[in-house]
Amino acid sequence: MPSFTLTVNGATHTVTAEADSPLLWVLRDKLALTGTKFGCGVGACSACSVHIDGDFARSCQWSIADAAGHHVTTIESLETTELGRRLQQAWIDEQVPQCGYCQSGQLMAAAALLKDTPRPTDADIDNGMSDNICRCATYLRIRKAIHRAAGNGEAK
Amino acid sequence: MSNKNISRRQFVTASAVSGAALMLGFSTLDALAAKVAPGRPAPDGWTPNLWLTVDPDGTVTILSAKSEMGQGVWTAMPMIVAEELDADWSKVRVARAPTNGKYNTSTGGSQSTRSSYMPLRQAGATARAMLVGAAAAQWGVPASQCTTAAGVVTHAASKRSATYGELAAKAAAQPVPAGDVPLKDPSTFTLIGRATPRLDIPAKVNGTAQFGIDTRVPNMVYASVARCPVFGGSLVRVDDAKARAVAGVHQVVKLDAVERLLPARVAVLAEDTWAAMKARDALDITWNPGPNANYSTEAANAGYHQRVNDDANAGVTASKGAVRAAGAGERTVEAIYEFPLLAHATMEPMNCTADVRADGVEIWAPSQAPDSIRTGVAKYLGVAPDTVTVHVTFLGGGFGRRSQTDYAIEAVQLSKAAGRPVKVTWTREEDIQHDFYRVDGIQRLRAVLDAQGRVVSWEDRVVGPSTEAYAFPGRFGNRHFDAAARPPYDIANYRLDMVLVDSPVPMWFWRAVSNTQNGYCMEAFLDECAHAAGQDPVQYRLAMLAGNPRAVHVVQLAAQKAGWGTPLPKGQGRGFAFYDYDGTLVAQVVEAEVPPDGKVKVHRVVCAFDCGQMINPDTVVAQVESAVGWALSAARYGEITVKNGAVQQSNFTDYQVVRMNEMPRVEVHLVDNHEPPTGVGEPGVPPFAPALLNAIFDATGARLRRLPIKPEMLKAGAATD
């Protein structure tokens, strides 16, 4: 199997994997970063959301060959940024998670949204977050938490 | 589901004293377990269910035997104990009780709080009494003069106080109070009924919460499984040459079907999940589709309609008075409602990790029923249950699916074959195509309205399969989970019966179980009756709930908060539904819009909710929000179809669920009282679909009697009745 080098949460890793192996499974199985979740495998639910070079990405749709050489950020390092901490605190303040399984992906999607749109409207949030499925339907609280993290006060 | 047979009796035993810690064991009976296995004598009725430990440093650790799947038991259970204990909440910790047969670990049916409420209060109160006893003995004062608060016993007159941690060792030596200890007056509660941040949430915002799929054990290999797509089929042959050529593949394992649990399969074991999945896809398999090769839900549905008049085979499941035909001045309303198979589609796909060793079996499972896994695995392997250890992780959604044991038996089969630990992870496609589904079927409802429009005779016939008949053949006689519900209204004569139809489709509990189809059929049909009678649907219900003040209150509260009767914009409608979910009373008003393209949009849901004493009100609100989103997914999209014996849907692309842009505003109005607590997780589901259908009728005049609601049913020009 070939080797690939990539940066994950600031650390450089060289992994041996099939070239078509999705980044998702490299993160979970080879790097033991299990906060990134498997939901559908076809890019339909966004439970596997991470950031690649700072942008939102579905890790089930990126092969390790494509991800090599890039900077990958996962839920495990969300707390290293001020925005990430604000989002996590907002998630706690609004008591967002229920089962919690999709929330890593929700938080990573929200962080990407606020990076590009620091003061989003409801419509911005709906547009930015509707790729992410939550089977517990915590959507209303996610929207409130994003507004809170953005400093929007009550939902617009 | 009923808990009417659950005795309130409980006992408390001081069954172990360990070091300086005071430990109490106590018991409860879980209603779902009782329902699944009726006739089983409750073995002494009671098995210890939870342990409470007070450490010398004042930390109070409460073991929860109930699985946390988003419904908040991880917080609600300790809140109940801490209330009566007068614990310092900041020092309360929760931990998972072991799966050893001594606890009732079954989590489902919205039963955890209602069945645990009194035993947990007794446990807290008993511990408190022993701590007070220890302080009183130490100080030489009457216990009755001591008070407790926030983990401290105080004797005000002598200005002495001691923490629970300081008193724990002495409390352990106190006699256990005989009989029940007096409990608090609920009006004095300081923790129960107060919105309390959930204890599991911090780990769910940073990736550290451990779900089943996150399990990693030394020497583990990863499995992916090809499953016979046709229910009841078998393996003819497999060519695994290409699969074995995939780098990292260890082994290919053929597995026979396990009756009513698992299909015929071929599994690949590999170094990592991706290698296993890739090799699985490279298997060249020939299946024998078997006896269900021609089964389809379309034909099954037609068959249900053909048997709707099969009186000779209709087993009565409940009745009152004598149903009758319309007399002079009366009229009959009749309609048939149809409902589809539904998948659970938990966000965390099915998975399990097992390690079968000579000295015992260890299993890591996101399970609602770990004791069923323990006993099921023991039976399967022919070993003693005591040699099977089940570790329960967080559950990435349960909704009833994870009360099954199939995924755990499979992991055990594979670990046994591999001789090492195996984690098996299902793909989403397997999860949707090899679920145990909510039943499909039809209900024919027939009501006789008297001259005033009031229902005087009510018949509800179910035609379709039954979860129990599938899962527990021959054990239930005429009782069925999927029987119609007794109307919660004052109706003098009713008869509920069922024409049971065999089906090869695996079936199981699905959030709210039969209440989903029953709420839909009953409350949509009642709306038809109200309109036939020319009466307002809310007033119509109120007239038939006159003897039930709590129900009247819930109905009025929802109607008032929603502005029932006030005008809505053109193209929008308002619908009402009420449901009594085993004592939890729920009324919902749905505001919906039907645009010309027929894609119904729900704008607002107002819900009044009375579940008796609330433990954590914010969790109640969250569960209602969740129930609305869950029920909207089912009403708008939910449909599993079978063709040529195989499920046609495969992923979130064709088994859709609602996303944020479709989620309506949800306003929850909780009724605050101290009645015995009832369920919370499921009751918000049943009234939603009928309220939505009634709103569509209000908006368009179209009376839909089939789910899900497809745009073509409502497009401009579509036939409306």
Q: ipTM, 2 decimals?
A: 0.98
Same-domain pairing of B618 and B696:
yes
Q: What is the token pair recorded at B420?
A: 């090492």
Query: What domain range is B43 assigned to?
Result: 12-204
Which residues from A are below 8 Å from B396, CB to CB? 37, 99-102
* Domain end marker among B371, B402, B425: B425
Among candidates A25, A75, A76 on the partner chain, residue whose Cβ is nearest the Cβ of B273: A25
Which residues from B are below 8 Å from A83, CB to CB? none
Same-domain pairing of B414 and B266:
yes
B272: in domain: yes
Helix axes B112-139, B164-172, angle to 10 degrees: 90
- Chain A, nearest residue to B197 by Cα: A95
B277: in domain: yes
A79-150, superfamily in CATH?
[2Fe-2S]-binding domain (1.10.150.120)
In chain A, CATH 1.10.150.120 sits at 79-150
Q: Report the residue count for chain B.
A: 721
Q: Which residues of chain A have pLDDT under 70?
A: 153-156
pLDDT digits (tens, 9 = 90+) for B202-224: 999 999 999 999 999 999 999 99
Contacts with B214 (C-beta within 8 Å, 6 or more apart), sequence order: A28, A34, B393
B176: in domain: yes
Q: Which residues pair with B499 in a beta bridge?
A: B314, B463
> Would the CB atoms of B347 and A134 count as touching at under 8 Å?
yes
Same-domain pairing of B76 and B148:
yes
> Would the CB atoms of A132 and B659 count as touching at under 8 Å?
yes
CATH at residue B323: 3.30.365.10
Which residues from A are below 8 Å from B207, CB to CB? 33-36, 74-76, 78, 104
pLDDT of residue A156: 43
Same-domain pairing of B102 and B197:
yes
Q: Is the domain covering A3-77 a CATH 3.10.20.30 domain? A: yes
Same-domain pairing of B663 and B606:
yes
Same-domain pairing of B588 and B511:
yes
> Would the CB atoms of B348 and A44 count as touching at under 8 Å?
no
Contacts with B506 (C-beta within 8 Å, 6 or more apart), sequence order: B231, B260, B434, B435, B436, B437, B470
> Would the CB atoms of A138 and B626 count as touching at under 8 Å?
yes
Contacts with B13 (C-beta within 8 Å, 6 or more apart), sequence order: B24, B25, B26, B48, B176
Q: What is the DSSP letter of B464?
A: E
Among candidates B70, B247, B349 on the partner chain, residue whose Cβ is nearest the Cβ of A98: B70
Same-domain pairing of B305 and B284:
no
pLDDT of residue B123: 87
Same-domain pairing of B268 and B331:
no
**Cα–Cα distance measured from residue B422 to residue B427, given in angstroms and rounded to the nearest whole number:** 16
> Would the CB atoms of B661 and A127 count as touching at under 8 Å?
yes
* Domain end marker among B177, B204, B231: B204
Q: Which residues pair with B445 in a beta bridge?
A: B335, B460
pLDDT of residue B715: 86
* Domain end marker among B390, B425, B460: B425
B522: in domain: yes
- Chain B, nearest residue to A132 by Cα: B659
Q: Which residues of chain B have pLDDT under 50?
A: 1-50, 720
pLDDT of residue B478: 60
In chain A, CATH 3.10.20.30 sits at 3-77
B430: in domain: no
Query: How many Cβ pairs closer than 8 A exist between chain A and B?
Result: 188
Whether B652 has its CB under 8 Å from any CB of chain A: the answer is yes
The C-alpha of A95 sits at a distance from chain B's nearest C-alpha, in angstroms, of: 7
Which residues from A are below 8 Å from B210, CB to CB? 34
Whether B218 has its CB under 8 Å from any CB of chain A: the answer is no
The total domain count for chain B is 3
pLDDT of residue B10: 28
Whether A62 has its CB under 8 Å from any CB of chain B: the answer is no
The C-alpha of B76 sits at a distance from chain A's nearest C-alpha, in angstroms, of: 13
**Residue among B467, B344, B360 at smallest CA distance from B407:** B344
